[in-house]
């Protein structure tokens, strides 16, 4: 059986089947997966367990890999891989580890990976090692659709605006501040960037909301109350169920999602805290951002 691409919702997401991700990928299959990635924004590969080395090798089909700023969780043998866990070495619940990309309420957790760096990530690949028996889904919001549904007067207000995105010195969002406690060295002060509030996707040309409640501190050039009101409005929009889909994990699943505009994600922190939630993750670099202007 050859490569098969099956959409999983009308909002976003497609399942990739018919390939063995633990072996070298044929160039034509890599190209087909890249095209599906641009179209569907998030891809799912079900129940194919991988080692850290295999995940890194598979991820490298889609661009150069970069180490994550959270060096405290770096894999000891494969530096391109970061470990995601809600457990400390002694088995107790790790509040900081659990807060990395997850939230009790998705409304507080929506974000795009490495939006606080000058050039965000192109893609994130997340592979499950151990999952709880309930909860812990990863949720996605299609912010291309969310932007298209905004009233015209709101689009006009957003046009050309820029915002500050912060991780190491996050203050607006307590969850981001908690997750940032594990940062080391310069990452504590240098994880900050100015990005457009609305971007045009580099591959599809579609405009999408890029500001988010997790790493956006404020919108530049606006009074604090107006900035806050706009961030809240955009958060309400991406929280709308009409634009959302979520993945229920099984051990051995892999997700690959886009960070170049058009997609936000948040893990759910609604699982039993005495159960482990362990993943390994890679970051594909090269997430070019294009500002969007309505008149352009």
Model pTM? Answer: 0.92
Q: What is the pLDDT of residue 9?
A: 97
Residue 286, CB-side half-sphere exposure with 13 Å CA sphere: 9
Encoding tokens for residue 262? 């058009």
Long-range CB pairs of 169-177 (<8 Å, 24+ gap) are: 170/215, 170/217, 171/217, 172/213, 172/216, 172/217, 172/218, 173/108, 173/213, 173/214, 173/215, 175/99, 175/103, 175/108, 175/109, 175/214, 176/111, 176/214, 176/215
Q: What is the pLDDT of residues 206-256, one digit of tens each?
A: 999 999 998 999 999 999 999 999 999 999 999 999 999 999 999 999 999
Q: What is the pLDDT of residues 9-60, one digit of tens each?
A: 999 999 999 999 999 999 999 999 999 999 999 999 999 999 999 999 999 9
Q: What is the pLDDT of residue 76?
A: 85
Q: What is the pLDDT of residue 153?
A: 96
Q: What is the pLDDT of residue 117?
A: 86
- According to DSSP, residue 22 is labeled T
Q: What is the pLDDT of residue 175?
A: 55
Mean pLDDT computed over every residue of the chain? 90
- In what side-by-side order are the strands of the sheet with 207-209? 207-209, 198-200, 290-291
Q: What is the pLDDT of residue 182?
A: 47
Q: What is the pLDDT of residue 183?
A: 45
Q: What is the pLDDT of residue 67?
A: 78
Least confident of 27-31, 73-77, 257-261: 73-77
Q: What is the pLDDT of residues 153-210, one digit of tens each?
A: 999 999 999 999 987 565 565 555 555 554 455 545 446 889 999 999 999 999 999 9
Indicate whether 100 pLDDT > 90.
Answer: no
CA distance 246 to 20: 24
């Amino acid at each position: 059986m050859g490569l098969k691409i099956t959409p999983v919702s009308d909002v976003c997401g497609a399942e990739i089947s018919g390939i063995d991700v633990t072996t070298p990928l044929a160039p034509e299959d890599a190209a087909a997966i890249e095209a599906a990635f641009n179209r569907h924004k998030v891809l799912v590969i079900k129940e194919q367990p991988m080692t850290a080395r295999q995940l890194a090798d598979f991820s490298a089909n889609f661009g150069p890999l970069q180490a994550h700023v959270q060096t405290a969780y770096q894999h000891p043998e494969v530096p391109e891989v970061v470990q995601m866990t809600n457990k400390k070495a002694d088995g107790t619940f790790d509040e900081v580890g659990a807060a990395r990309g997850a939230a009790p309420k998705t409304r507080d957790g929506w974000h795009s990976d490495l939006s606080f760096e000058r050039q965000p990530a192109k893609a994130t690949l997340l592979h499950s090692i151990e999952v709880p028996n309930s909860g812990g889904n990863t949720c996605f919001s299609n912010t291309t659709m969310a932007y298209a549904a905004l009233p015209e007067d709101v689009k006009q207000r957003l046009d050309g605006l820029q915002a500050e995105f912060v991780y190491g010195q996050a203050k607006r969002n307590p969850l981001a501040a908690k997750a940032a406690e594990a940062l080391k060295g310069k990452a504590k002060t240098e994880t900050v960037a100015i990005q457009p509030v609305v971007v045009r996707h580099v591959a599809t040309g579609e405009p999408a909301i890029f500001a988010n409640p997790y790493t956006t501190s404020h919108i530049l050039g606006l009074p604090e109350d107006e900035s806050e009101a706009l961030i809240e409005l955009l958060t309400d929009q991406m929280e709308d169920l009409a634009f959302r889909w979520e993945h229920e994990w099984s051990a051995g699943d892999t997700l690959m999602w886009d960070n170049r505009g058009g997609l936000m994600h948040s893990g759910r922190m609604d699982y039993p805290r005495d159960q482990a939630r362990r993943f390994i993750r890679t970051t594909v670099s090269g997430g070019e951002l294009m500002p969007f202007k309505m008149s352009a």
